[in-house]
Amino acid sequence: MSAAICNAVVRIQREYLGRGPTKARASLHGDIIVVLMQDTLTKAERSLTADGRQDDVLRSRRSLQSTMRNDITAAVEERTGRSVIAFMSDTHIDPDLACEVLVLEPDEADRGEEAAEDPGP
């Protein structure tokens, strides 16, 4: 499942940005999915960064990440069969890294375990 999620996120990045990251991996940890990507910046973004305009690149990336949110969320929901209840995304300039973090709604089995583990006040 992690490969399918990773491929979907890379495809969406490529559709929106004209290129995708050269390296990416997805990790699943219970209800949390993390997609870590390397070499994500476009040629234009690298040029802006070299010109000292990192803040412009980060601002633009945040807007794009917000725009991609629905497509990434839908792709993850389709592949996991579970609802995404939170989506967080960020970009780091040097080194050139980006991540998508998605939190899935707990499934019924997880809810039962949580209730059993939490004795309450």
* pLDDT tens digits, one per residue of 27-82: 999 999 999 999 999 999 999 999 999 999 999 999 999 999 999 999 999 999 99
Q: For residue 25, what is the enclosing H or E element?
A: strand 23-29
Mind listing the domains of the chain with CATH numbers? 2-117 (3.30.980)
Task: Look at residue 13 and tell me whether its pLDDT is greater than 70.
Answer: yes
> Cα dihedral sign for 77, 82, 87, 93?
negative
* pLDDT tens digits, one per residue of 83-104: 999 999 999 999 999 999 999 9
* pTM of the predicted model as reported, rounded to 2 decimal places: 0.84
